[in-house]
């Protein structure tokens, strides 16, 4: 028996996401043999969900909130053996994890060395790499160049360089629904979003800034992604802001506008 703390589904992802009455689901445990669909309710840190696997097989799972967060459960006959020992698998996982982190560190150093414009903020960064276990991802939940100093009348630009993770640029009051931009946001000719802030009391919310997902053959294309957000600041002042999704992880920044 395996204990899993992820959303789990082998059928239509969207259908399972909105249907907690998915076959097999009870309050905190379920059985899965590959013929149906199991999805947990939303789980937060510390909560668990138990799935029993009565049949051997290889079963994929995915988090319906973080679509690139996937895994596979290999269910073996009790007497079956794996090609490697558990220690070998643990060592391989640790090595892949270290390589992924080291690569992002290197990119970060190169980026900061080549950083020239005071008006530009990188909104997170990330990587997708392929391994024998499938794709693995890394996301840095930070505004890089998180405090910028500009002059009144200038425009700052935020760019999400994470291939997967959405972020927001949120000044003032955080909206209840973080997905759409606030009503005072317009679209520039190049598709980037744009707003004007004229007072430290103004509220502006970018909505989700994220690259379009990779398309899949046989499914409708995803719409164009919006990865850039611009704000023109007309008055001097100090303007703190957050990512509405990751501020509790420390994703915050500040714009200082000089006369
Ligand atoms: Cu974020």
pLDDT tens-digit readout, 175-226? 999 999 999 999 999 999 999 999 999 999 999 999 998 899 999 999 999 9
Residue 244 CA to ligand 1 centre (angstroms):
7
Residues of the chain with pLDDT under 70: 1-29, 104-117
Structure tokens at 106: 């290197």
Query: Which domains does the chain show, CATH number per domain?
Result: 2-75 (no CATH), 117-258 (2.60.40.420)
Residue 179 CA to ligand 1 centre (angstroms):
12
Give per-residue burial for 132-145: e unless 16+ CB within 10 Å, then b: eeeebbbbbbbbbb
Q: What's the pLDDT score for residue 237?
A: 97
Residue 180 CA to ligand 1 centre (angstroms):
15
Q: What's the pLDDT score for residue 70?
A: 82
Distance of alpha carbon 69 from the chain centroid: 9
Residue 141 CA to ligand 1 centre (angstroms):
6
Residue 209 CA to ligand 1 centre (angstroms):
9
Residue 213 CA to ligand 1 centre (angstroms):
17
Structure tokens at 199: 């007072």
Residue 86 CA to ligand 1 centre (angstroms):
35
Residue 160 CA to ligand 1 centre (angstroms):
9
Please state the pTM of the whole predicted model. 0.80
Q: What's the pLDDT score for residue 20?
A: 32
Residue 57 CA to ligand 1 centre (angstroms):
37
Structure tokens at 157: 């630009």
């Amino acid at each position: 028996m395996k204990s899993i703390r992820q959303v789990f589904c082998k059928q239509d992802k969207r259908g399972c996401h909105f249907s907690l009455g998915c076959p097999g689901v009870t309050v905190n445990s379920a059985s899965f043999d590959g013929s149906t669909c199991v999805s947990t309710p939303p789980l937060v840190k510390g909560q668990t969900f138990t799935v029993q696997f009565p049949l051997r097989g290889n079963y994929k799972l995915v988090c319906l909130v973080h679509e690139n967060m996937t895994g596979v459960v290999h269910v073996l006959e009790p007497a079956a053996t794996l090609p490697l020992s558990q220690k070998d698998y643990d060592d391989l996982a640790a090595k892949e994890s270290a390589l992924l982190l080291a690569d992002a560190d290197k990119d970060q150093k190169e980026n900061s060395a080549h950083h020239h414009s005071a008006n530009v903020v990188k909104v997170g960064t990330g990587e997708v790499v392929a391994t024998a276990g499938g794709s693995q991802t890394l996301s840095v939940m930070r505004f890089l160049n998180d405090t910028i100093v500009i002059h009144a009348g200038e425009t700052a630009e935020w760019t999400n360089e994470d291939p997967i993770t959405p972020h927001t640029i949120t000044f003032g009051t955080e909206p209840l629904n973080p997905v759409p931009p606030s009503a005072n946001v317009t679209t520039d000719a190049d598709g980037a979003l744009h707003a004007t802030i004229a007072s430290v009391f103004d509220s502006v919310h970018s909505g989700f800034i994220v690259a379009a997902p990779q398309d899949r053959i046989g499914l409708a294309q995803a719409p164009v992604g919006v990865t850039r957000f611009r704000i023109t600041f007309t008055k001097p002042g100090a303007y703190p802001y957050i990512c509405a999704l990751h501020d509790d992880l420390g994703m915050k920044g500040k714009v200082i506008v000089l006369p």
